[in-house]
Structure 1
Amino acid sequence: MGAATDYFLVLWGFLLIALMGIGGFFMFRKFLKQLPKADGFSQMDWETYYIDKTRHLWSAELLSLLDELVSPVPELFRDVARRKIAGKIGEVAIKKKATEITQDILIEGYIVATPKRDHKFLRKKMAQKQIDLTPYEYLFHI
């Protein structure tokens, strides 16, 4: 075998190890989300609970707004992001004892569910939709 082939095999090996490590990291994160917490329910169980309890409170208009707000997320992760955000919106609605999901509840849940690193994109999307975030500034610091 030549030197070029040896280098290729070593690089190929490192590439495979790196890709398996990245995949393992994401699988491990999903595994951690499914582990039950102190209350006996996992993070994903709570998301499902809040979505099921508030499914009837959503209007078609607010569902389409949620889809628009989640549109910057890469398509591969969009369904997961929509579910996580909808679960947090449902949690906010239940805590407020709301009889319907309003735009205020949607925005509050959306901000709380969005990681801090993505707040810049959130603000940009809200500015595009001409939604004033001034009443919600305290949520960005929680």
Structure 2
Amino acid sequence: MVSQGLTYALMVQGSPYSQQASHSALRFAEALPAQGHRVAAVFFYHDGVYNAASMMTPPRDEPHLLERWRALYQTQQCELLVCVASAVRRGLLDEGEARRHGHSHPTLEAPFEMTGLGQLMQAALHHDRLITFAP
């Protein structure tokens, strides 16, 4: 009998360039396929929502975390879920929220999607493991 790998949900609470949580979550997620597993959902919460900032432009000698999250989405077909309450209070808006609040430009784009805490609960219930990466 062939054993099927585990599916993981991750919760990232740390901002991308000031704490280790984002780097650790990415390295963990990128390493899963080599072990026969995959990440199915990443939920960005509190300052972790900054990982989805569409205008993030790090210096060339630093890892481009936004591009790595996008690559993870492509390679593992995982959901990149951003807590709407955390994002809006930090100025991260998708097209709908930008329009709703009278702003002309979104600061959060696909493949990231705004969602609520219910999606985090669904991820915890539907995947084999939920791991939190916090500062």
Q: Tell me whether the two structures share a fold, i.e. TM-score over 0.5.
A: no
- TM-score, normalized by length of structure 1? 0.28
Q: Which has the higher contact order (CA 8 A, sep 6+)?
A: 2
Q: Which has the higher helix share?
A: 1
How high is the TM-score relative to the length of structure 2?
0.28
Larger Rg computed on CA atoms: 1
